[in-house]
């Protein structure tokens, strides 16, 4: 049964001011899942105003930071208690398997707990200066922070930025992707039930062009955090530039996963496989360029194909499903178009490349796990982010060649290296032009480990302690004691 949802502004559940709505669909069936408010620019103004008032209100501004931490901890406990409910909504809305959705929500709870613990550890320094003087710094929240969220990990990636922002004492206006807004409303409910003062956390639902753009260019916000595509990143950067506010961008990727003959091959096959087919390949850090040493290439590809043959497609909520649908019809069309491009470019289709034939899946936006071999780095399927279950396999013969090809990309988000030779592994960790390098595991991250896009994969860093720097500003105080 489709639901009718409200958005959360100034502690109240509201419709859009002009009453307009939009629908979100279950990508496994194409059926309407919920109707949501299509926020207007006036609604965004109201949310930013509420966040500003809440920021200046002593109920939040003067709150003991350890109390702030406890509130966030309480929200994290509510998220854990509601894990099944939130994961189900995420799975229905995005298409991902319930197992993956549960992993995402748990990761988000951990992230909130991690930053809750940092709320009372935001501190300045005393600095030695000449003369009868004293200098110290005050670290304070920046104000109202804007968060624009993608559809691939809607809950987890929203919390990734919102948790440090709130822990540092800011107030938040968040905008989910219009394809997947439901779980962010569950986050708002958890914050409301945990007792966050009205206006501290706001969610406005609607399109990127209207709501996202107005939020990013709003003179009332003090920072903008976007996770999304490079094209959106450029637009958001331009929008925020008008107000000279800092921006964190976590953008796309075309990550290399490099397998050497001395690796644990079965482990590497699994890592390479999960690295591209989890979340139906809709992952910024997907290991979409797989470099396999020529001496093990054929055996490795055979093992990948064998896994793909047994990979069950279906609705994310079905227990046996290993891969759900893509998020939308547009995404399905885009991925299938890339399969055509790959074929035209001369790559060999080793597996998949089509919609599944199962009659039960015809209404959903499914694409088979797809493996291309004989790929060259100059092909579009090796250069562009497809954002779907399409793996490009490339051969290499020497370490130097592998490193050169891996770095030959406009992206630099993530990379994998599979070898038992520690010297080689760490040479690659140094040489790879990527914000993270995973050795003998793929993909992997933790809330306490920074997540950074190099090159066109982004600006700034999320996760870990350093993310707190983005959500705070440092004021210097110099006192003359003479
Ligand atoms: P998207 O860029 O289409 O949308 C992201 C968000 O921006 C959505 O909320 C959207 O409504 C909004 N938006 C769109 N146009 C806007 C505009 N002009 N102004 C302001 N907001 C606007 O991205 P997506 O399709 O939701 O997500 C997929 C992309 O995100 C991929 O490129 C992927 O690699 C990237 N991603 C990056 C990371 C990372 O950590 N680096 C993580 C996940 C996804």
Q: Are residues 441 and 468 in the same domain?
A: no
For the Cβ of 228 lying below 6 angstroms from any atom of ligand 1, the answer is: yes
The answer as to whether 452 is a domain residue is no
Cα 55 from Cα 170, distance rounded (Å):
6
If one residue of 151, 160, 227 were mutated to test the ligand 1 pocket, choosing by the most ligand atoms within 8 A of its CB, it would be 227
**Both tokens assigned to 217:** 């260019």
Q: Measured from the CA of 387, which atom of ligand 1 is nearest? A: 31
Query: What CATH number did the domain enclosing 217 receive?
Result: 3.40.605.10
Helix axes 182-194 and 65-81, enclosed angle (nearest 10):
130
Which of the two residues, 196 and 1, has the higher pLDDT score? 196
pLDDT tens-digit readout, 271-325: 999 999 999 999 999 999 999 999 999 999 999 999 999 999 999 999 999 999 9
Within 10 Å of residue 346's Cβ, how many Cβ atoms? 10
Q: Measured from the CA of 148, which atom of ligand 1 is nearest? A: 9
Q: Are residues 319 and 223 in the same domain?
A: no
Q: Are 170 and 140 in contact (CB under 8 A)?
A: no
Q: Are residues 294 and 221 in the same domain?
A: no
105 has pLDDT over 90: yes
Question: How confident is the model over 115-130, as a mean pLDDT?
Answer: 97
Q: What's the CA-to-centroid distance between 226 and ligand 1, angstroms?
A: 7
For the Cβ of 249 lying below 6 angstroms from any atom of ligand 1, the answer is: no
Nearest to 239 by CA among 385, 49, 44, 386: 44
Within 10 Å of residue 30's Cβ, how many Cβ atoms? 14
What count of residues does the chain have? 482
Q: What's the CA-to-centroid distance between 150 and ligand 1, angstroms?
A: 4
Q: Are residues 316 and 442 in the same domain?
A: yes
Q: Are residues 194 and 89 in the same domain?
A: yes
Q: What's the CA-to-centroid distance between 327 and ligand 1, angstroms?
A: 13
pLDDT tens-digit readout, 204-229: 999 999 999 999 999 999 999 999 99
Q: Are residues 245 and 260 in the same domain?
A: no
328 has pLDDT over 90: yes
For the Cβ of 161 lying below 6 angstroms from any atom of ligand 1, the answer is: no
Q: What's the CA-to-centroid distance between 364 and ligand 1, angstroms?
A: 22
What per-residue string of b and e applies to 350-360 under the rule 16 or more CB within 10 Å gives b?
Answer: bbbbebbeeee
The answer as to whether 451 is a domain residue is no
Cα 192 from Cα 197, distance rounded (Å):
8
C-alpha distances in angstroms, 410 versus 157, 234, 413?
23, 15, 10
Query: What CATH number did the domain enclosing 388 receive?
Result: 3.40.309.10
Residue that the structure tokens 């001011």 belong to: 17
pLDDT tens-digit readout, 165-174: 999 999 999 9
For the Cβ of 285 lying below 6 angstroms from any atom of ligand 1, the answer is: no
Contacts of 112 (CB under 8 A, 6+ apart): 72, 73, 75, 76, 79, 159, 163
258 has pLDDT over 90: yes
Q: Count CA within 13 A, CB hemisphere, residue 472.
A: 23
Q: Measured from the CA of 153, which atom of ligand 1 is nearest? A: 43
Q: What residues pair up with 292 in beta bridges, in sequence order?
A: 259, 395
**Both tokens assigned to 51:** 């966040």
Q: Measured from the CA of 233, which atom of ligand 1 is nearest? A: 2
Q: Are residues 436 and 471 in the same domain?
A: no
What residue's CA is closest to ligand 1, atom 44?
A: 284
Q: What residues pair up with 349 in beta bridges, in sequence order?
A: 372
153 has pLDDT over 90: yes
The whole-number pLDDT of residue 77 equals 99
What residue's CA is closest to ligand 1, atom 40?
A: 250
The whole-number pLDDT of residue 98 equals 98
* Mean pLDDT computed over every residue of the chain: 98
Q: Are 102 and 154 in contact (CB under 8 A)?
A: no
Q: Are residues 223 and 307 in the same domain?
A: no
Instruction: Work out whether strand 451-452 and strand 461-462 pair parallel, antiparallel, or are unpaired.
Output: antiparallel
Q: Angle at Cα 288 formed by Cα 408 and Cα 314, nearest 5°?
A: 170
pLDDT tens-digit readout, 385-435: 999 999 999 999 999 999 999 999 999 999 999 999 999 999 999 999 999
What residue's CA is closest to ligand 1, atom 14?
A: 208
pLDDT band at 264 (very low <50, low <70, confident <90, very high): very high
Cα 143 from Cα 222, distance rounded (Å):
6
For the Cβ of 238 lying below 6 angstroms from any atom of ligand 1, the answer is: no
The answer as to whether 139 is a domain residue is yes
Q: Are 40 and 19 in contact (CB under 8 A)?
A: no
Within 10 Å of residue 133's Cβ, how many Cβ atoms? 13
Q: Are 239 and 228 in contact (CB under 8 A)?
A: no
The answer as to whether 54 is a domain residue is yes
Contacts of 319 (CB under 8 A, 6+ apart): none
Q: What's the CA-to-centroid distance between 228 and ligand 1, angstroms?
A: 2
For the Cβ of 232 lying below 6 angstroms from any atom of ligand 1, the answer is: yes
What residue's CA is closest to ligand 1, atom 15?
A: 208
The whole-number pLDDT of residue 461 equals 97
The whole-number pLDDT of residue 1 equals 79
| Residues of the chain above pLDDT 70, percent | 100
Question: How confident is the model over 359-379, as a mean pLDDT?
Answer: 97
The whole-number pLDDT of residue 268 equals 98
At residue 119, φ and ψ (nearest 5 deg) are -55, -40
For the Cβ of 157 lying below 6 angstroms from any atom of ligand 1, the answer is: yes
Q: Are residues 329 and 343 in the same domain?
A: yes
Q: Is 114 helix (H, G, I), strand (E, B) or coil?
A: helix
Q: Are residues 424 and 342 in the same domain?
A: yes
**What range defines the domain where residue 377 resides?**
256-446
Catalytic positions, please? 250, 284
The whole-number pLDDT of residue 55 equals 98
Question: How confident is the model over 95-102, as a mean pLDDT?
Answer: 98
Q: Are residues 246 and 320 in the same domain?
A: no
**Both tokens assigned to 88:** 């189900």
pLDDT band at 371 (very low <50, low <70, confident <90, very high): very high
Provide DSSP, 45-111. Answer: HHHHHHHHHHHHSHHHHTS-HHHHHHHHHHHHHHHHHTHHHHHHHHHHHH---HHHHHHHHHHHHHH
For the Cβ of 38 lying below 6 angstroms from any atom of ligand 1, the answer is: no
Overall number of domains in the chain: 2
Within 10 Å of residue 423's Cβ, how many Cβ atoms? 8
Cα 429 from Cα 58, distance rounded (Å):
47
For the Cβ of 252 lying below 6 angstroms from any atom of ligand 1, the answer is: yes
For the Cβ of 460 lying below 6 angstroms from any atom of ligand 1, the answer is: no
Q: Are residues 101 and 182 in the same domain?
A: yes
Question: How confident is the model over 18-36, as a mean pLDDT?
Answer: 98
**Both tokens assigned to 444:** 């992997």
Q: Burial, 183: exposed, middle or buried (Cβ in 10 Å; 0-12, 13-18, 19+)?
A: buried
Q: What's the CA-to-centroid distance between 229 and ligand 1, angstroms?
A: 4
């Amino acid at each position: 049964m489709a639901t009718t949802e409200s958005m959360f502004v100034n502690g109240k559940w509201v419709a859009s001011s002009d009453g307009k709505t939009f629908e979100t669909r279950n990508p496994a069936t194409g059926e309407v899942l919920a109707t949501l408010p299509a926020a207007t620019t006036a609604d965004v103004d109201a949310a930013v105003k509420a966040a500003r008032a809440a920021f200046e209100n002593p109920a939040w501004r003067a709150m003991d930071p350890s109390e702030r931490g406890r509130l966030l901890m309480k929200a994290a406990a509510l998220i854990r208690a509601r894990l099944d409910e939130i994961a189900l909504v995420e799975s229905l809305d995005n298409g991902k398997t319930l197992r993956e959705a549960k992993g995402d929500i748990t990761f988000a709870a951990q992230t909130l707990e991690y930053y809750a613990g940092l709320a009372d550890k935001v501190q300045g320094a005393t600095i030695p200066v000449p003369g009868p003087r004293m200098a110290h710094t005050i670290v304070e929240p920046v104000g109202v922070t804007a968060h624009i969220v993608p559809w691939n990990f809607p809950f987890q990636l929203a919390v990734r930025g919102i948790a440090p922002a709130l822990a540092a004492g800011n107030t938040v206006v968040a905008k989910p992707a219009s394809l997947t807004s439901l779980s962010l409303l569950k986050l708002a409910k958890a914050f409301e039930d945990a007792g966050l003062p009205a206006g501290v956390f706001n969610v406005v639902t609607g399109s990127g062009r209207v709501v996202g753009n107005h939020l990013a260019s709003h003179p009332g916000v003090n920072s903008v955090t976007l996770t999304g595509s490079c094209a959106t990143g450029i637009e958001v950067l331009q929008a925020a530039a008008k107000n000279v506010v800092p921006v964190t961008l976590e953008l796309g990727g075309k990550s290399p996963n490099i397998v050497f003959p001395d690796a644990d091959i079965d482990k590497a096959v699994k890592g390479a496989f999960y690295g591209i087919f989890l979340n139906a390949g809709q992952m910024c850090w997907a290991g979409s360029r797989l470099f396999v040493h020529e001496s093990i290439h054929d055996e490795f590809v055979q093992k990948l194909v064998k896994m793909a043959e047994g990979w069950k497609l279906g609705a994310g909520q079905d227990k046996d499903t290993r891969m759900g649908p893509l998020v939308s019809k547009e995404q399905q069309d885009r991925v299938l178009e890339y399969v055509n491009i790959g074929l035209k470019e001369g790559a060999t289709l080793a597996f998949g490349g089509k919609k599944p034939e199962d009659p039960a899946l015809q209404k959903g936006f499914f694409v088979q796990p797809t493996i291309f071999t004989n790929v060259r780095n100059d092909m579009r399927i090796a250069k562009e982010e497809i954002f779907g279950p399409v793996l490009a396999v490339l051969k290499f013969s020497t370490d130097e060649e592998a490193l050169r090809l891996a770095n030959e990309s406009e992206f630099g988000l993530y990379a994998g290296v599979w070898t038992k030779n520690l010297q080689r592994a760490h040479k690659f960790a140094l040489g790879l032009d990527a914000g993270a390098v995973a050795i003998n595991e793929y993909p992997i991250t933790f809330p306490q480990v920074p997540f950074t896009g190099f090159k066109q994969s982004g600006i700034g860093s999320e996760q870990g302690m350093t993310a707190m720097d983005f959500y705070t500003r440092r004021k210097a105080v110099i006192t003359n004691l003479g």
